[in-house]
Structure 1
Amino acid sequence: MSVRNKSKVTASPKGKLHQTISTNSGAPIPSNEHLLTAGDRGPALLQDYFFIEKIAHFDRERIPERVVHAKGAGAFGYFEVTHEVSKYTKADFLREVGLKTDIFVRFSTVGGEKGSSDFDRDPRGFAIKFYTQEGNYDLVGNNLPVFFIRDPLKFPDMVHTHKRNPQSNLKDANAFWDFNSLSPETVHMLTMLFSDRGTPKTYRNMHGFGVHTFKFVNKKNESFFIKWHLKTDAGIQTYSASEAAHADVDGATRDLFEHIKKGGKATWKVYIQVMPTKEANTYKYNPFDPTKVWLYSDYPLIPVGKLILNRNPENFFQDVEQAAFTPANLVPGIEASPDKLLQGRIFSYADTQRHRLGPNYALLPVNCPYSKKISNYQRDGAMRIDGNGGSTINYSPNSYGGPRSNPLTTEQPIALVGNSGRTEYPKKDDFVQAGLLYEVFSEEEKKALTSNIAGHMKPVEKEIKVRQLSYFYQANKDYALRIANILGISEKEIKAYMS
């Protein structure tokens, strides 16, 4: 008689026992929340098979709709350099004032399906494809400057709580707050999302942010850490929760299309924050943590250029639906930072597009780097539409004049510190910036924020409510108690949980 090994059981926060998480081959997982990295700050290690398995499976959970950012709108236009920044980067499209680069931008909601409302409370995707002379550069950002999590291993779980319950197929507020109340790093993002910034009136009336930290490298091989910011020229306009609930579900999509159709333009001023690399180790917040911002008082905005959208797509499916963005699309002079979430997205986004559009998605017109010929040894695959390399050599190295690598474009080395392991970021400070943000809100904004959160939390189990309120309490006492009063929970109960 065969005997099966039983998985080790561990205790959950509610005291319940559960099985140890395993890979698809049955091996136990040492951590489901921390990517395997070189040192506490990263970068990520390719040997983290569980992350690859988990994120690759997640990338394929929806066919053919995007797993996230399913509903969107887009437009073509150009980016123009207005200020000298070549001292920071050798990127060709930023080399001189007046230089224009064609772009395509896709806006989107994150959690909803293709038929969902443009005004669900949700971050808005703000993805830009720059068709530069050195290849395509993708800036895959959002309308808010931070994100929910900082470790990509938690990304599939986070998105699952924004989607539908696997049994009822209904949105599940209990799952949403259960995850967040067990992930204190989400507090800053929640404070932004449940303000009226979480329901922008149009895509034209919201800012854009790169969210992650990137590295600029100049011609002298000097490097700087930077963050991207796009400030709308149309001004911020938002809906209240009640207004959003009754708005035209396609209103943001309609506004962008009709505005451009009538001859209008959607415009943003583009800025960067610049941090000398040596200051990354001493800054009071971890500069690679996407749940945090760099304070403007520490690193002021530096103007770079302007982004202008002035042409609608001729065919929505061809240009908007088939548009494929990935943070892996970098150009010389712009490199990835050790940001763990960015490291995970570099793999995940391209992998998702291979699943959704096929291995040759980069050959589709909207994705093709038409300013730069594609030269490599990749062949065949579904939907190969460019001649498949013809009769040219399909291997390297070769003796027949095939393309070769260019050592001059080698990435700048990253100094590694510490041992490999599954670790948290140092300098977490999960509540400080959420508290600072709450303090600058007006009284009207505080009322809207706390009312929005309380309304969303009403159907949630009390234990989860109290746990979440303990996070808000650590950010700002008034913040938590306003929500608690609406929910009928006392300060004594919050303190008892925290003790």
Structure 2
Amino acid sequence: MTNKKRLTTSWGAPVGDNQNSQTAGQRGPTLIQDVHLLEKLAHFNRERVPERVVHAKGAGAHGYFEVTNDLAKYTKAAFLSKVGKRTPLFVRFSTVAGELGSADTVRDPRGFAVKFYTEEGNYDLVGNNTPVFFIRDAIKFPDFIHTQKRDPQTHLKNPTAVWDFWSLSPESLHQVTILMSDRGIPATLRHMHGFGSHTFKWVNENGKGVWVKYHFKTEQGIKNMDVGLAAKLAGEHPDYHTEDLFNAIENGDFPAWKLYVQIMPIEEADTYRWDPFDVTKVWSQKDYPLIEVGRMVLNRNPENYFAEVEQATFSPGNFVPGIEASPDKMLQGRLFAYSDAHRYRVGANHNQLPINRPKAEVNNYQRDGQMRFDNNGGKAVYYEPNSFSGPKEMPSANVTPFNVAGQAGNYNYHHDDHYTQAGDLYRLMSEEERERLAANIVNAMKPVAKEEIKLRQIRHFYKADPEYGTRVAKGLGLTVPQNV
């Protein structure tokens, strides 16, 4: 049976010859009038969109979220409205610091981004596999990421920059301790938890709000990878995690996570022992126990990696009614930065791509821009307010009012205890886990060029727990500074 599909240009015209370019005679130079050749070459030159500045290497899958607990008293979000309700979703897992071709099994946090295609629009929960982060104010984010990238002179990763920044940013200690622990290298993407990390606000039908934190608990169990095996796989099988996720779903072994939340009454934010909006801190589960919300299942692989995984765009600013932002300074910066990165990387109309397009109807007055591939609003009215029955706002979708007070200025968080929670985490570890933690830190810090940076960081470890700092100092052949 012959193939009846005809080869065409991007504008649908049939291609007469796809093997030979047009030339001036058999040996003559190529003609610029060969528009099919020019189109092929020009498109090929543009096949790679700029990779993400962070989270460049990733894997993704489709699935669904099913509500298992009625939490309508806390949020009016429609996709969480009743037990048994299912919402389609897409998840992208990623490493943070490496480039698009980097290895999966490096020691790095993992991005854990979930796009819920709800009937009220897309809701993106853009977190990590850790409940905290290295910094707590978005103004420090470009500097932090610069330390994770390549040195501008050598074009090599620079441990001196990494530890110099961390040692001068003590709020990073909690996340550094997690990163350098066994959980710094998950065995697979299926065997790790996910977190919203930030504090968010839930609002119910009566306009009453609560603060909330998200926890995705893997049903596969936590499994981590030995550093030696991770290094071996990084060289021999750099796409190990990507392949594992694809094969598991392809074979019907669908990974799943239970979603839980911690709920804090609005008024308790002012009196809690930690600032609840500081993303370098966790809320004690003894103070705010986990409450089950639902179950996430990944059951379908992408058909095309570029179209679905690479072009997927997530923003923590993509909210739906019933879910709002908090004063978390890191979150506040991300509300702008993520969508702005997508406008640069994919284009102003990135939300029209099939992987990003909401299932809900979209009506607005945005027009034009690169890659506008729908009817661009047609002949409909293109401004608001108008007298021609164009889309109108819904006051019920407004953000709930919240109190703002004080003088404008540059402020730090109220609490500067960066050591208690890191020390508590260290003391929760077994002796073997502490040994591996210290060994991982020592190996990572050995290349640091300046001894003063090592000593500064050792002080932080020691303040978290004297044994913690002493172990690292001993491994580096140093002594704990006297002025800790």
Tell me if 1:362 matches 2:358. Answer: no
Tell me if 1:297 matches 2:286. Answer: yes
Match of 1:411 in 2: 399
Distance in 2, matches of 1:439 and 1:174, equals 28
Distance in 2, matches of 1:242 and 1:468, equals 25
Distance in 2, matches of 1:488 and 1:174, equals 17
Tell me if 1:437 matches 2:442. Answer: no
Distance in 2, matches of 1:79 and 1:265, equals 13
Tell me if 1:490 matches 2:479. Answer: yes
Q: 1:318 aligns with which of 307, 312, 319?
A: 307
Match of 1:453 in 2: 441
Match of 2:31 in 1: none
Q: Any idea what SS the aligned residue of 1:421 has?
A: coil
Match of 1:215 in 2: 201
Q: Any idea what SS the aligned residue of 2:482 has?
A: helix
Match of 1:345 in 2: 334
Structure 2 residue identity aligned to 1:315:
N
Q: Any idea what SS the aligned residue of 2:455 has?
A: helix
Match of 2:101 in 1: 115
Distance in 2, matches of 1:345 and 1:486, equals 38
Structure 1 residue identity aligned to 2:281:
K
Q: Any idea what SS the aligned residue of 1:495 has?
A: coil
Structure 2 residue identity aligned to 1:403:
P
Distance in 2, matches of 1:495 and 1:167, equals 36
Q: Could you report, residue by residue, the CA deviation over 1:351-382 in whole angstroms, capped at 9, with x for unpaired residues?
A: 00000000000000000002x11111000000
Structure 2 residue identity aligned to 1:167:
Q
Q: Any idea what SS the aligned residue of 1:126 has?
A: strand
Match of 1:245 in 2: 231
Q: 2:189 aligns with which of 188, 196, 203?
A: 203
Contact kept in structure 1, 2:115 and 2:122, CA below 8 Å: yes
Structure 1 residue identity aligned to 2:105:
F
Distance in 2, matches of 1:399 and 1:417, equals 39
Contact kept in structure 1, 2:49 and 2:346, CA below 8 Å: no
Distance in 2, matches of 1:438 and 1:121, equals 18
1:183-202 aligned at under 5 Å gives the runs 183-202=169-188
Tell me if 1:462 matches 2:451. Answer: yes
Contact kept in structure 2, 1:470 and 1:495, CA below 8 Å: no
Tell me if 1:336 matches 2:322. Answer: no
1:138-287 aligned at under 5 Å gives the runs 138-247=124-233, 248-287=237-276
1:469-480 aligned at under 5 Å gives the runs 469-480=458-469
Over alpha carbons, which structure has the higher Rg? 2
1:271 Cα deviation after fit: 0.3
Counting matched residue pairs gives: 433
Q: Any idea what SS the aligned residue of 1:137 has?
A: strand
Calculate the TM-score normalised by the size of structure 2.
0.89
Distance in 1, matches of 2:402 and 2:172, equals 28
Q: Any idea what SS the aligned residue of 1:464 has?
A: helix
1:240 Cα deviation after fit: 2.0
Which structure has more RCO (C-alpha within 8 Å, separation ≥ 6)? 1
Distance in 1, matches of 2:144 and 2:467, equals 27
Structure 2 residue identity aligned to 1:250:
D
Structure 2 residue identity aligned to 1:424:
N
Contact kept in structure 2, 1:286 and 1:428, CA below 8 Å: no
Q: Any idea what SS the aligned residue of 2:163 has?
A: helix
1:220 Cα deviation after fit: 1.2
Match of 2:375 in 1: 387
Match of 1:397 in 2: 385
Change (3 A) 1:104 1:63: closer
Structure 2 residue identity aligned to 1:468:
Q
Contact kept in structure 1, 2:180 and 2:440, CA below 8 Å: yes
Distance in 2, matches of 1:420 and 1:413, equals 19
1:431 Cα deviation after fit: 0.9
Structure 2 residue identity aligned to 1:143:
N
Match of 1:423 in 2: 411
Q: Any idea what SS the aligned residue of 1:450 has?
A: helix
1:241 Cα deviation after fit: 1.7
Q: What stretches of structure 1 of length at least 5 have no aligned partner?
A: 1-61
Contact kept in structure 2, 1:450 and 1:483, CA below 8 Å: yes
1:429 Cα deviation after fit: 1.3
Q: Could you report, residue by residue, the CA deviation over 1:123-176 in whole angstroms, capped at 9, with x for unpaired residues?
A: 000000000000000000100100000000000000010111111000000000
Match of 2:366 in 1: 378
Q: Could you report, residue by residue, the CA deviation over 1:94-143 in whole angstroms, capped at 9, with x for unpaired residues?
A: 00000000000000000001111101110000000000000000000100
Distance in 2, matches of 1:249 and 1:440, equals 32
1:462 Cα deviation after fit: 0.4
Distance in 2, matches of 1:301 and 1:384, equals 43
Distance in 2, matches of 1:96 and 1:333, equals 14
Q: Any idea what SS the aligned residue of 1:221 has?
A: coil
1:262 Cα deviation after fit: 1.0
Distance in 2, matches of 1:266 and 1:112, equals 25
Q: Could you report, residue by residue, the CA deviation over 1:245-288 in whole angstroms, capped at 9, with x for unpaired residues?
A: 11221111000001111112010000000000010000000000
Match of 2:39 in 1: none
1:335 Cα deviation after fit: 0.2
* Cα-Cα RMSD: 0.9
Q: Any idea what SS the aligned residue of 1:395 has?
A: coil
Q: Any idea what SS the aligned residue of 1:127 has?
A: strand
Structure 1 residue identity aligned to 2:328:
D
Match of 1:48 in 2: none
Q: Any idea what SS the aligned residue of 1:197 has?
A: helix
Structure 2 residue identity aligned to 1:157:
D
Q: Could you report, residue by residue, the CA deviation over 1:175-204 in whole angstroms, capped at 9, with x for unpaired residues?
A: 000000110100000000000101001100
Identity %: 56
1:385 Cα deviation after fit: 1.0
Distance in 2, matches of 1:206 and 1:468, equals 28
Q: Any idea what SS the aligned residue of 2:242 has?
A: helix
Distance in 2, matches of 1:428 and 1:375, equals 45
1:63 Cα deviation after fit: 6.4
Match of 2:83 in 1: 97
Calculate the TM-score normalised by the size of structure 1.
0.86
Contact kept in structure 1, 2:133 and 2:175, CA below 8 Å: yes
> After TM superposition, which residue ranges in structure 1, 4 or more long, deviate above 3 angstroms?
none
